[in-house]
A and B are shown apart, each in its own frame.
Chain A
């Protein structure tokens, strides 16, 4: 009974909205709103056929590459910058400025410097996504509890062990907050860079459909990008629950 109630809560509103959409668009003449049938058809023919290899795979590869590089670089540099005071002071204002540059504005520049290729798009993603991870890592590492640091020292934790068992776990809640922001920015930059200049990719195909005024196809691109966003967020939450499970538990017990 309880399970049924939860299930109804979960599907209730979405089902209602879909029925509403179906009912209003069935006899509707609105040019911009696609009907469910043609939309599903367009989705299947555009993205699950040829388009899968031609557009979807390249887009996702670029996104994954950009995100992995940003996260690795962000954590690596962040640990160094966060643990050494003078490096943090030296680079602090510079990093604040670089972070403040709205990353979409870099797309035309990188287009000039690098050209229309995968490297340009990955660079755009990295230049946008690295800051949340980097700055949050710096903040997390710089604010590790003094007692924890001293304890680690007394136990002779050094080098990689210190990093693995003390620094990274202590900073991980902040790092994950940063990664979460990066994911959203990464997707935005992947799509924007493809819309601005590309020869393939989901963003490119979608803006192309807009230029051809192919309404259901254009909407199918929007739906696909939405689904990718949702999938990324679910994936992130799964990883976070695994890695940060101890932290959530700690917070809960502290709140009791």
Chain B
């Protein structure tokens, strides 16, 4: 019933017999896509000039885009981006490792799974931003505060996927492994891990997006250094073009994260039906 479960089930659309796409047919979507972006920029420009919002608060792209490219030359900008990405990556890695270890241990024992079910179902939906005041009080505006929030949120997302994955291990394969006297670690390596991997990757992909939202959220509110803090500063200083430029940056960052996760999925799961089927069609 999880997101991932649905995604995994539905990731490969039903194979329909399709003609080989000609060059024109393949080029058209890309062309239209580029047209869509250009059109949106035009709409933004026009709306900003004649729309109901004061252009000071909604500067046109002709002001924002130069600022965006100018930013790329500032060391300051790269430091802030680096801080945000560091919190993102560390939070994601810590939570993933913790979730894998705990998930495999809990998942391999019926007793533990049943005993922890209610607690996990209760702790999981707690919005981690609720812990921001606590993190601010405990640590102040430092990396640790950001990590606490990011790791807490991502941990549950990945853990639940790991539990689904471990539960999905084939019964016959388990019996075979027992017959062949595989040790616990061998079973984890050769039996559980391959079944788990698609679920794990889905969990990490979902967590990666949430981690970026949260690290920027903490930077906004607590003031830990990073892109979120820079945007809050730009807002206080009334530097609207640079604020919008930073938002564009965060969008690019978000796309990089999505792309990276897609790449990870294809690399790790090249053998899995959901990826193989996608390549073939």
A residues at B contact (CB < 8 Å): 9-14, 17, 32, 86, 89-94, 96-109, 111-113, 128, 140, 142-143, 145-146, 173-174, 176-177, 180-181, 184-185, 187-188, 191-192, 195-196, 203, 206-207, 209-210, 213, 218-219, 221-222, 225-226, 228-230, 232-233, 237, 240, 248, 251
Report whether over half of chain A's contact residues are helix, strand or loop; otherwise say mixed.
Answer: helix
Q: Kindly state whether residue B164 has any CB partner on chain A within 8 Å.
A: no
- Smallest distance from the beta carbon of B1 to chain A beta carbons, Å? 7
Q: How many A-B residue pairs have CB under 8 A?
A: 201
B residues at A contact (CB < 8 Å): 1, 3, 6-7, 9-10, 13-14, 16, 28-29, 32-37, 39-40, 53, 57-58, 114-119, 121-122, 124-134, 136-138, 206, 209-210, 212-214, 216-217, 220-221, 227-228, 231-232, 234-235, 240, 243-244, 246-247, 250-255, 257-258
- Smallest distance from the beta carbon of B124 to chain A beta carbons, Å? 8
Given A13-B118, A93-B34, A112-B57, also A225-B126 (CB < 8 A): yes
> Which A residues are in CB contact (< 8 Å) with B7?
177
Alpha-carbon gap, A146 to B281, bound state (A): 14
Alpha-carbon gap, A90 to B32, bound state (A): 5
Q: Which residue on chain B has the smallest CB distance to residue A183?
A: B125
A-B contact pairs, 23 of them (CB 8 A): A13-B115, A14-B122, A94-B36, A94-B37, A101-B251, A102-B209, A102-B212, A102-B213, A104-B216, A105-B227, A105-B246, A107-B220, A108-B234, A109-B235, A143-B10, A174-B6, A192-B129, A207-B133, A210-B133, A210-B136, A210-B137, A219-B134, A222-B134
Alpha-carbon gap, A226 to B136, bound state (A): 18
> Which A residues are in CB contact (< 8 Å) with B34?
93
Nearest 8 pairs of A and B residues by beta carbon:
A100-B254, A210-B133, A143-B13, A225-B130, A104-B217, A229-B125, A89-B29, A226-B126
> Which B residues are in CB contact (< 8 Å) with A146?
14, 16
Alpha-carbon gap, A101 to B259, bound state (A): 13
| Most chain A Cβ neighbours within 10 Å, of B117, B227, B247 | B247
Alpha-carbon gap, A102 to B128, bound state (A): 16
Residue pair A185, B244 in contact (C-beta under 8 Å):
no
